[in-house]
């Protein structure tokens, strides 16, 4: 589904929860410097030290006290993330800073083209991180990055877990084995979208029967939809799967996560941004969310409607959007249950 002239964002508030309250505890900073300052002389040797490299491409802050202080705060978030990930045994994850002015040659060599962005180099892939610059969010995102791009469903417990992931885009396929050429094509396609799109597979005919899958067949699950869509044209090659996902990766209703909260503002949209909120653990909020799901299901083929919701309160979202200069020229409407309050960005 492609973006239309209207954008409706549905934000799900989880009671008093805010970002970072998912069970991951960030310790106090231990004082050890782990974040590297990358230069033309050292960036190659430093990047060779790690399996995964996280690079923050930032503005030059010379002569600007406020910007310098902000960069120090951002660097501390990276230091804390690096401290947590320093304990990983299987993966070495490094962090680095690239100054847009002092290290412009490095940025050019690495293909960094958007200042104030985080780029993750892993398995010969470059992943652009569109979430908030917070230690807990970055760590959780990197945990996903280092996971295998395809999760295998071997039993009923894992199948139940798959069905519980109804708030994200998912694909699931049935293949003979992990050595099947058709699975290899599927796995290669998964690497292109990892970790943003969830790929699952099973080699068990009993699990496949419960999923109503035929051999070498792949189903595409749009978030919050009752039934999947079988991707036509099996058996597939990698490029066919990639093309299909790219045509269908903007679902009618999607849950926004801390690691993708800025992604929605990056597409070209000629119109207003409308942000709606539903508090899931409140009876009225739950009912409102169910109504939104019903609207999404009834309008899944409508190119002029897209619904979003993340775990944020209206005031928190307003604060986040206030920091995003791209939002200064838009009006943001916050819908809470059936009430609407419009926040004019000019008021920021």
- Three-state SS annotation for 224-293: CCCCCEECCCCCCCHHHHHHHHHHHCCCCEEECCHHHCCHHHCCCCCCCEEEEEEECCCHHHHHHHHHHH
Write down all domains in the chain, each with its CATH number in brackets.
7-17+253-347 (3.40.30), 35-133 (3.40.30.10), 150-248 (3.40.30.10)
Q: Are 87 and 142 in contact (CB under 8 A)?
A: no
Angle between helices 135-145 and 65-85 (to 10 degrees): 50
- CA gap 333, 342 in Å, rounded: 4
Residue 331's pLDDT is 39
pLDDT for position 223: 87
Q: Which of 61, 85, 116 is nearest to 262 (CA)?
A: 116
Torsion (CA) 336, 141, 70, 348 in degrees, nearest 10:
-20
Residue by residue, pLDDT tens for the chain (348 residues) are 332 333 344 444 333 223 334 458 899 999 999 999 999 999 999 999 999 999 999 999 999 999 999 999 999 999 999 999 999 988 999 999 999 999 999 999 999 999 999 999 998 899 999 888 999 999 999 999 999 999 999 999 999 999 999 888 999 999 999 999 999 999 999 999 999 999 999 999 999 999 999 999 999 999 888 899 999 999 999 999 999 999 987 766 777 777 776 665 554 445 444 556 667 677 877 777 777 777 767 766 655 555 444 444 444 444 554 444 444 333 344 443 333 333 333 433
* pLDDT attached to residue 333: 44
Structure tokens at 191: 């690497």
What's the start-to-end Cα distance of the chain, in Å? Answer: 32
Strands 93-99 and 307-309, bridge-based pairing: unpaired
How much is the pLDDT for 263?
66
Query: Helices H, strands E: what count in the chain?
Result: 10, 16
Distance between CA atoms of residues 208 and 217, nearest Å? 10
Distance CA 118, CA 74 (A): 11
Please give the Cα distance from 30 to 215 (Å, whole number).
Answer: 52
* Whether pTM exceeds 0.85: no
The helix (H) or strand (E) run that includes residue 201 is strand 198-202
């Amino acid at each position: 589904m492609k973006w239309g002239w209207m954008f409706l964002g549905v934000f799900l508030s989880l009671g008093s929860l805010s970002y970072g309250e998912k069970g991951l505890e960030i310790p106090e900073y231990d004082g050890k410097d782990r974040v590297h300052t990358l230069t033309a002389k050292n960036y190659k040797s430093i990047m060779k030290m790690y399996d995964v490299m996280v690079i923050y491409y930032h503005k030059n802050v010379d002569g600007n006290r406020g910007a310098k202080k902000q960069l120090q705060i951002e660097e501390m978030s990276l230091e804390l993330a690096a401290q947590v990930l320093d304990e990983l045994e299987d993966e070495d994850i490094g962090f680095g800073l690239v100054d847009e002015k002092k290290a412009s040659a490095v940025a050019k060599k690495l293909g960094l083209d958007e200042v104030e962005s985080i780029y993750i180099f892993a398995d010969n892939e470059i992943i652009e991180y569109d979430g908030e610059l917070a230690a807990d969010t970055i760590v959780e995102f990197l945990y996903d990055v280092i996971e295998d791009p395809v999760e295998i469903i071997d039993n009923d417990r894992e199948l139940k877990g798959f069905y519980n992931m109804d708030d994200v885009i998912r694909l699931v396929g049935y293949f003979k084995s992990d050595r099947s050429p058709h699975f290899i094509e599927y796995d290669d396609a998964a690497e292109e979208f990892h970790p943003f799109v969830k790929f699952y597979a099973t080699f068990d005919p009993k699990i496949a029967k419960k999923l109503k899958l035929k051999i070498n067949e792949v189903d595409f699950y749009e978030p919050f939809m009752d039934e999947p869509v079988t991707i036509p044209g099996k058996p597939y090659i990698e490029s066919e799967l990639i093309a299909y996902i790219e045509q269908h990766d903007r679902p009618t209703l999607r849950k926004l996560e801390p690691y993708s909260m800025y992604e929605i503002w990056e597409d070209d949209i000629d119109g207003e941004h409308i942000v709606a909120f539903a508090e899931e653990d409140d009876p009225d909020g739950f009912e409102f969310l169910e109504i939104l799901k019903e609207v999404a299901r009834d309008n899944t083929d409508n190119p002029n409607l897209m619904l979003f919701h993340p775990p944020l309160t209206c005031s928190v979202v307003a604060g986040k959007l206030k920091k995003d200069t791209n939002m200064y020229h838009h009006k943001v409407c916050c819908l809470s249950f059936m009430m609407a309050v419009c926040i004019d960005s000019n008021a920021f």
